[in-house]
Amino acid sequence: MNIADLRKSYEKAELNENASHADPLQQFAQWLQEAIAAEVPEPNAMTLATVASNLRPSTRVVLIKGYDERGIVWYTNYDSRKGQELAGNPFAALQFHWVELERVVRIEGRVEKVSDEESDAYFHSRPLDSRIGAWASPQSQVIDGRTVLVTNAAKYAAQFMLNPPRPPHWGGYRLVPDNWQFWQGRKSRLHDRLRYTHEGSVWLRQRLAP
């Protein structure tokens, strides 16, 4: 089959100005909870896009670990490629794609590290293997083989036993949104697309052509 011939008709739902929330965070919370309730695969997975100092963009999938009026939170290795790129250019974009619901949410904004207290609290809530893994993996660095990871994991497990501390190179980021977009697939490619941008102290909601 020719890949250019693949087609899908979007007919599950609609998104209009009257039925959507005036606050994008409330709209996001509703859609995320609906994705969880629908049991879509990994509803908490989001694509994170960053830009390096040479202006080359890169993406990867991370997991949302919290959200509130301050922004969207995830955790990772600060020495990873995304960490290095955020250190040089503290702006990023996120995207959730809930295929089964025919929905996409795009979020853009400035990125900051969460507090040490928040990072510590989340780190110590993780399973032991995940905490050891944060020490064992020199994320984004070239390694000779999987044996390096297994050896590191064994070393740190023996060193820390049941109480590994949070590594100094590991913690949380928070994206502070200044632009939200909500996309709902519709029939005949006449999709619904609402954008929220800051207008003074309130959010301006506008419909965009798909």
Is 189 annotated as catalytic? yes
Q: Strand 91-98 and strand 45-51: pairing?
A: antiparallel
172 DSSP β-pair partners: 75
For residue 199, the number of C-alpha atoms closer than 13 Å in the C-beta half-sphere is 10
CB distance 108 to 125 below 8 Å = no
CB distance 153 to 132 below 8 Å = yes
The DSSP symbol for 80 reads S
> How far apart are alpha carbons 128 and 104 in whole angstroms?
33
Per the listing, tokens 């899908």 go with 8
Catalytic residue among 189, 193, 205, 207: 189
> How far apart are alpha carbons 50 and 85 in whole angstroms?
6
Compute how many other C-beta atoms are within 10 angstroms of the C-beta atom of residue 70: 14
The encoded tokens of residue 9 equal 């008709």
Kindly list the catalytic residues: 189
